[in-house]
Homo-oligomer: A and B are copies of this chain.
């Protein structure tokens, strides 16, 4: 029996382990395997259109009848000042030139808001057990509509103030994302890459600040981390990097190879790919861009400038390989086996520390 059952009860899952909704790496096969193993599988749905989302959900439902989670970004239609675009084009020109790419693009794609009425309507039709948001929450009536449909609504906080704001807005649980986490920081406003609260400090302060269950994320690589999260006051964990090497994940072969030699220190936070801070493998491009911070094109529009550089590589020079600081603990086993191992290790850790109790 887990020492805190609030998340399991809320989500109707057996193991309080959420597989993070890593867009691209989290496939319907991975999410289904995690849900079938008693955890909560997730799909990063932010960059799927409504048809893709419908198809992915159908695949998931085919593979599991357990609860699963769909994840969305909260981001207004991005707008980049022409002067910022021009300044960034000048900064990137040497990189483009060195990669033989000609001049950086002169225009950015027009993009709508990340979460819109069509997606809300589809969610109310699909009714996943859980919907999670990144970068905040949708408008209050959307949150109400999701909850009224029986959907558990959660979102990410990277500090106490954001956790309090989420609770006030009616979330059923808060994902407290520490600095260690791979991928995009879920901060409600864009932040400097150096910002971030480590999981060890974040969880108890968030647990003290909100009444809803807290889901710890960031730097949790095995059952020791899960047990530590419960000690700190969490009711469950969200783990992403730990699932990247599962055969069910969408991770490509070069990235799988790279993860085999990952260390605790080979990632950094950078906003020079997407326009918002994300933890990714260290690369010279990210380091150079980070050393001198200048305004960048808006989130998602920035990809139009960075994608050609990433495609040109090589990976130590320019790459956007998202993983967290506990990547060295990642195992190449099927998701069901991983879920079993994580649970076993967490309980072994509870037993190890409990020998102290008279």
Q: Which of A's residues lie within 8 Å of B, judged by CB?
A: 1-3, 159-161, 178-180, 192-202, 204-205, 218-222, 224-225, 227-233, 263-265, 268-269, 287, 290-293, 324-326, 328-329, 347, 349-358
Q: Write out the residue numbers on chain B whose beta carbons fall within 8 Å of the beta carbon of A159.
A: 263-265
Please determine whether A204 and B221 come into contact, CB atoms closer than 8 angstroms: yes
Please determine whether A3 and B355 come into contact, CB atoms closer than 8 angstroms: yes
A230 CB to nearest B CB, Å: 5
Given A231-B353, A353-B230, A356-B2, A324:B292 Cβ within 8 A: no
Please determine whether B353 and A264 come into contact, CB atoms closer than 8 angstroms: no
A211 CB to nearest B CB, Å: 17
Distance, CA A328 to CA B164, complexed state (A): 15
Please determine whether B197 and A180 come into contact, CB atoms closer than 8 angstroms: yes
Q: Write out the residue numbers on chain B whose beta carbons fall within 8 Å of the beta carbon of A325.
A: 197-198, 201-202
28 contacts between A and B (CB under 8 A): A2-B356, A3-B353, A159-B265, A160-B264, A160-B328, A161-B263, A161-B265, A178-B198, A179-B196, A195-B265, A195-B268, A198-B199, A198-B325, A199-B200, A199-B201, A199-B219, A200-B218, A200-B219, A200-B229, A202-B264, A204-B222, A204-B224, A204-B225, A205-B329, A231-B349, A291-B292, A347-B356, A350-B357
Please determine whether A356 and B194 come into contact, CB atoms closer than 8 angstroms: no
A201: contacting residue among B160, B205, B221, B230, CB under 8 A: B221
Distance, CA A220 to CA B205, complexed state (A): 11
Please determine whether A204 and B292 come into contact, CB atoms closer than 8 angstroms: no
Q: Write out the residue numbers on chain B whose beta carbons fall within 8 Å of the beta carbon of A198.
A: 178-180, 198-200, 218-219, 325
Given contacts A227-B353, A231-B231, A351-B357, 16 further A-B contacts (CB under 8 A): A3-B354, A159-B264, A178-B198, A194-B269, A197-B325, A198-B199, A198-B219, A199-B201, A199-B219, A200-B218, A200-B219, A201-B219, A201-B221, A201-B264, A204-B221, A205-B326
> By CB atoms of chain B within 10 A, which of A219, A268, A328 has the most?
A219
A130 CB to nearest B CB, Å: 23
A172 CB to nearest B CB, Å: 22
Distance, CA A264 to CA B157, complexed state (A): 12
Distance, CA A263 to CA B269, complexed state (A): 22
Given A3-B355, A201-B221, A194:B231 Cβ within 8 A: no
Distance, CA A236 to CA B353, complexed state (A): 13
A3: contacting residue among B193, B292, B356, CB under 8 A: B356
> By CB atoms of chain B within 10 A, which of A161, A198, A269, A325 has the most?
A198
Distance, CA A264 to CA B161, complexed state (A): 9
Distance, CA A193 to CA B193, complexed state (A): 10
Please determine whether A231 and B224 come into contact, CB atoms closer than 8 angstroms: yes
Distance, CA A219 to CA B231, complexed state (A): 14
Distance, CA A178 to CA B225, complexed state (A): 14
Distance, CA A195 to CA B192, complexed state (A): 13
Q: Write out the residue numbers on chain B whose beta carbons fall within 8 Å of the beta carbon of A160.
A: 263-265, 328
A84 CB to nearest B CB, Å: 15
Please determine whether A268 and B352 come into contact, CB atoms closer than 8 angstroms: no
Please determine whether A200 and B178 come into contact, CB atoms closer than 8 angstroms: yes
Distance, CA A287 to CA B195, complexed state (A): 11
Q: Write out the residue numbers on chain B whose beta carbons fall within 8 Å of the beta carbon of A265.
A: 159-161, 195, 197
Distance, CA A219 to CA B199, complexed state (A): 8
CB closest residue in chain B, given A204: B224
